[in-house]
Amino acid sequence: MDNCFSNLQDDLLHMIVSRLPTIEDAISTSTISKRWRYSWKSIDKLVFNENQFNDKQRFNYFINQTLKLHNPCFSLNKFAIILKGYGELPYEIEQWIDSALRRNVQNLHLAYCSKKVDDIYGDVKLVSLKSMMLNWVVVTNEALMHLLAGSPVIETLHLHQCKASLSLEGHHTSLNYIMIRNCVDFEIFDMDVPNLHFFRHLEINRCCKLQEIEIDAPNLVSFKYLGGMVDISPMNSTCTSEVTLRMESYSQSLNWRNIFEKFSQISSLTLSCRRVEECLLLLNSMEKLHSSLPFFSHLKYLEFEAWETSLSLTDILVPLLGFSAYLERVEILKLVVGFFTVCVKFQAVKSMDLVDLPSINWTRLPLVYLQRHFKEVDISNISRKKNEMELVRFLLGDVMDLACIPPSESFTWKA
């Protein structure tokens, strides 16, 4: 066994040990051969999960011994401590985090229920930290700003199931990505970072009390939101790439024109709803946006998701096809209902040439005018429901033998 591994290069040996799923697995390699005895001491990922231990004292002892034996001269890419439930925080927690900081940790992950972050940290100098993830902690806006201020090269911030608020002001010059998920006490997200040149991505998921999102981030590229009704106010955002809005509820009062006008330069738009009634509300809102269409002069990708619907899929797709045709620049239109997916790719054309129509209504354009610009139609996950087959027949007419399409089949039609 010793001879079998003795010729491995140091870099390969280190890569093998570092990619093992747990620290215990890495340490166990020390019994393989003399050459492997100390290899685990230089791994760059230390993840300590109390859920893998039945005894808290044994867990604490394992962390202490691991940090004692791990070579402090090697930098850490990731350091994570995942603690069980509630209860007293281990008194060694500051010592453990300090050990990670001395190893120039780049990704720090702390998961613990109901412990205030500002009880853990005093003055912080996280000079090498690039990613921070906080799970199940109570964090005040002041404490979070204090952490970020002490992290000059931080790029990503994740808050998951935290009791937190966030009003971010623009002096964290390296921050690139923020994800906020399931933070129950979030009511207002205020992001005023007009001078933050590297900030590109913002994602907010299921913060049930959230009422308002204010964004002043001129270099924003991607904005994704999943949750209930919320007032979105992108004051100075020229988001040029991707906007995803997955609303879990809709109402007539939602001002789509105001939202879309603020994201006027986007190239990708995904809209999603859950119920039949919400599908109708959203489609009706889109039909009323006729005067707002010029705002989407750069839109190339449009996706509409309905998690469930008893509506005619054809009645949903027709206005979306017209919407895409009227905008002229749309290259891909995608409709997803449950698992059933229709993706229409359009020819690159200068104009839809609609001058011969007696009345131009983008929600009621005849299919013959649309089909001539189809480049490719991809249809997948067909369950052969009536409304699915009606949509396939509407799009492709007699070019496909529908009786030969088995359930769950995917196929592509090309012009």
Residue 259 token pair: 């939202």
According to the model, what pLDDT value does residue 249 have?
67
| pLDDT confidence band for 6 (50 / 70 / 90) | low
Give the residue from 239, 267, 295 where a domain finishes. Answer: 239
Same domain? For 329 and 397 the reply is: yes
Q: What is the pLDDT of residues 341-398, one digit of tens each?
A: 999 998 865 555 544 444 445 445 556 666 677 888 888 888 878 888 888 888 877 6
Give the residue from 185, 216, 239 where a domain finishes. Answer: 239
Q: What residues make up the domain containing 199?
A: 114-239
Mean pLDDT computed over 275-302: 70
According to the model, what pLDDT value does residue 19 have?
83
CA 303 – CA 131 distance, rounded (Å): 31
According to the model, what pLDDT value does residue 365 have?
53
The neighbour count for residue 55, using CB atoms within 10 Å, is 10
205 touches 226 (CB < 8 A)? yes
Q: What is the pLDDT of residues 176-225, one digit of tens each?
A: 888 999 887 777 777 766 556 677 888 998 888 887 787 777 778 888 88
According to the model, what pLDDT value does residue 294 have?
60
Q: What is the pLDDT of residues 212-260, one digit of tens each?
A: 787 777 778 888 888 877 777 755 555 668 888 887 766 656 666 667 7
**270 belongs to a structural domain:** yes
Give the residue from 239, 263, 279 where a domain finishes. Answer: 239
**105 belongs to a structural domain:** no
**92 belongs to a structural domain:** no
Across the chain, what does the average pLDDT equal? Answer: 77
Say how many domains are in the chain.
Answer: 2
DSSP class per residue in 16-65: HHHTSSSHHHHHHGGGT-GGGTTGGGG-SEEEEEGGG-S-HHHHHHHHHH
According to the model, what pLDDT value does residue 360 have?
46
Same domain? For 395 and 276 the reply is: yes
Residue 103 token pair: 């190893």
Mean pLDDT computed over 298-320: 83
Same domain? For 387 and 411 the reply is: yes
| pLDDT confidence band for 1 (50 / 70 / 90) | very low
